[in-house]
Structure 1
Amino acid sequence: MNSKLLLEHLKKEISNFEEASEAEAIAMLIIEDIFNISRMDILIEKELDISSDLNDNIQSILNQLKSGKPVQHILGKVEFYGRQFLVNSNVLIPRRETEELVHLILERHPDLSEQLIVDIGTGSGIIPITIAKERKHCEVYGVDISSAALATAKRNADLNHAQVNFIQADILEDEIELPKANIWVSNPPYVMEKEKARMDAKVYDHDPATALFVPDHDALIFYERITKMAFNNLVNGGALYFEINEQFGKEVKKLMEDKGFGEVKVLGDMQGKDRFVVGTR
């Protein structure tokens, strides 16, 4: 079968239960994974040999999508910054905004040789693994409360041949012994409980709640704790990078300034929403 025709067929099927704007991207992922071909192969209409087993596999994926399961969890992997990462129900599916956060760090720090970077709430390990691969000769740490998430992160480090030091700790309770760092980065839980009603059910049904939600009455709990810890751990001139809830740019900026950080800036994502706050010790 012509791969381009299969793409159009899947796109039509997927549009029945997914946003039309997402259907083509999901269909591409399915074809790339099942037939082990590239996006370019599809665009040049490569011919595919579809056996009954493969056809059953495609139908199974469509059924799972229809039930609300994210395609990333069905396939068990996702692309981030040009690399493959394993994902499952123990870790967040990486968002485009987090890719922007990593790009921001790499853009601002073209040379991280002999420097130490700490990622708090590392989840699948995408942030420290990507930094370790993009900036050679740096020492990278990933910290998370979940042993299951860290197991996935370690598998991702092995998959991508990256050296990352992973630590299991509850940052709200534990004191973490770390060498003095040059960069701290965190994409902590920042979705308020009251925002759940406006979210896509497939997100809160399949992503771990502990990595998503914070109490409505204490929405900045992780930012307060991480900012204090980072200030005590960073070298002079070191930087702290946060991904944030778009509603709290001013509040996180003030919090960092009150804790002693300078040159604090709120930066927007590609959609123009306040998404990152950065500051210098």
Structure 2
Amino acid sequence: MRYNDLWRELAAIYGENEAKAVCRTVLDDLFGMSLTDIVCGGVESLSSADTQVLSCAMTRLKEGEPVQYVTGKAPFAGRIFGVAPGVLIPRPETEQLCDIVAGLTAALPHPAILDIGTGSGCIACTLALDDESREVSAWDISDKALGIARDNAERLGARVNFVKQDALNAPHDTDRWDAIVSNPPYICGRERSGMHSNVLDHEPHLALFVPDDDPLLFYRAIAGYGCHALRPGGWLCFEINALYANEMETMLGDMGYRDIKTIKDIYGKNRNTICRK
């Protein structure tokens, strides 16, 4: 088994450059193998047991499974988070949401922040680790996601209060949070044709999709909760579906929120919407 053979097996799925990058990620994450190690014959020098592990990993990759699930690791905001099938893989673009929340709450001595739909816990843990004065809580309806999020928090040393809670049936809290942050499901079924098969076939649909006739389902529920659960002046911060940015701003305005703003990402795409109680 050689490195060139490995990436060529994946080239039909990923293309040459990405196939090489995927193989290097697997070799690094599973065996601590650097590019120098690879060039010097590290793959050929693997033990029979490690060769079997690599063979199993390659089989999963050839079936279209995301490399993050195969290695059990995903980078986010300078840290490595554990991931597994059943939890959404953290995306680099979501790091911007953490930066936004941090900036909006920077002047508060001990801001209380809630992350709704925490998944792997990447947002909640990042906010808690970047400033230990923050009091961070996180909700998810999935027991599997909560288990992974708790494992990440424990391994990284993040103080986060995780709670099993359905965002569509939130409690009637009053003046509890300085900021609520969420990257909820926001992809409509009709958008599936434009998605990569490794996402459709492997990532949890519970964390991805909303009904075609109600694309703002989770945003409306979370914003409704925020109307009474946010403290006066508290912030609501969403990652959004760019297709519905205008509808999002209109809905938040109709619900009484102020200082509504949609923020573009580095690619010029509408990525996050913020507003204030």
- Please indicate, yes or no, whether the TM-score normalized by the shorter chain is above 0.5: yes
| 1:177 positional shift | 4.2
Letter in 1 for 2:101: I
| 1:231 positional shift | 2.2
**Alignment partner for residue 246 of structure 2, among 234, 247, 250?**
250
Looking at structure 1, the residues matched to 198 and 110 of structure 2 have their Cα atoms a distance apart, in angstroms, of 41
**Alignment partner for residue 203 of structure 1, among 199, 216, 235?**
199
Looking at structure 2, the residues matched to 208 and 54 of structure 1 have their Cα atoms a distance apart, in angstroms, of 29
Task: Give the conservation status (yes or no) of the 8 Å contact 2:174–2:230.
Answer: no
**Alignment partner for residue 117 of structure 1, among 113, 119, 134?**
113
**Does the residue aligned with 1:118 lie in a helix, a strand or coil?**
strand
**Does the residue aligned with 2:169 lie in a helix, a strand or coil?**
coil
Q: Give the match for residue 32 of structure 1.
A: 28
Task: Give the conservation status (yes or no) of the 8 Å contact 1:78–1:84.
Answer: yes
**Does the residue aligned with 1:279 lie in a helix, a strand or coil?**
strand
Looking at structure 1, the residues matched to 197 and 271 of structure 2 have their Cα atoms a distance apart, in angstroms, of 22
After superposition, what is the alpha-carbon deviation per residue over 1:169-224, rounded to whole angstroms, capped at 9, x for unaligned? Answer: 11212425476111110011100011122211221221111111110111111111
**Alignment partner for residue 223 of structure 2, among 221, 227, 231?**
227
Looking at structure 2, the residues matched to 161 and 179 of structure 1 have their Cα atoms a distance apart, in angstroms, of 28
Task: Give the conservation status (yes or no) of the 8 Å contact 1:112–1:137.
Answer: no
**Does the residue aligned with 1:16 lie in a helix, a strand or coil?**
helix
Q: Where does structure 1 differ by over 6 angstroms across 4 or more consecutive aligned residues? A: none
Looking at structure 2, the residues matched to 112 and 25 of structure 1 have their Cα atoms a distance apart, in angstroms, of 42
Looking at structure 2, the residues matched to 68 and 17 of structure 1 have their Cα atoms a distance apart, in angstroms, of 8
**Does the residue aligned with 2:171 lie in a helix, a strand or coil?**
coil
Q: Give the share of equivalent positions with the same residue, in percent.
A: 36
Looking at structure 1, the residues matched to 227 and 166 of structure 2 have their Cα atoms a distance apart, in angstroms, of 18
Looking at structure 2, the residues matched to 61 and 85 of structure 1 have their Cα atoms a distance apart, in angstroms, of 19
Structure 1 gap ranges (5+):
none
Looking at structure 1, the residues matched to 184 and 169 of structure 2 have their Cα atoms a distance apart, in angstroms, of 15
Count of residues in correspondence between the two structures: 274
After superposition, what is the alpha-carbon deviation per residue over 1:91-121, rounded to whole angstroms, capped at 9, x for unaligned? Answer: 1011222122223323444455411000111
Q: Assess, with a 3 A threshold, how the Cα gap between structure 1 residues 99 and 150 changes in structure 2: closer, same or farther.
A: same
**Alignment partner for residue 146 of structure 1, among 136, 142, 145?**
142
Letter in 1 for 2:134: C
Structure 2 gap ranges (5+):
none
The answer to whether 1:265 aligns with 2:258 is no
Task: Give the conservation status (yes or no) of the 8 Å contact 1:112–1:136.
Answer: no
Q: Assess, with a 3 A threshold, how the Cα gap between structure 1 residues 178 and 54 changes in structure 2: closer, same or farther.
A: farther
Looking at structure 2, the residues matched to 200 and 250 of structure 1 have their Cα atoms a distance apart, in angstroms, of 26
**Does the residue aligned with 1:54 lie in a helix, a strand or coil?**
helix
**Alignment partner for residue 81 of structure 1, among 77, 98, 105?**
77
Q: Give the match for residue 93 of structure 2.
A: 97
Looking at structure 1, the residues matched to 160 and 125 of structure 2 have their Cα atoms a distance apart, in angstroms, of 7
Letter in 1 for 2:35: I
CA RMSD of aligned residues (A): 2.2
**Does the residue aligned with 2:228 lie in a helix, a strand or coil?**
helix
**Alignment partner for residue 23 of structure 1, among 19, 24, 27?**
19
Letter in 2 for 1:224: R
Q: Return the TM-score normalized by structure 1.
A: 0.89
After superposition, what is the alpha-carbon deviation per residue over 1:208-266, rounded to whole angstroms, capped at 9, x for unaligned? Answer: 11111110111111111111111211122211110111101111111111112111111
Q: Give the match for residue 14 of structure 1.
A: 10
Q: Give the match for residue 274 of structure 1.
A: 270
Q: Give the match for residue 35 of structure 2.
A: 42
Q: Give the match for residue 181 of structure 1.
A: 177
140-149 or 28-37, larger mean C-alpha shift: 28-37
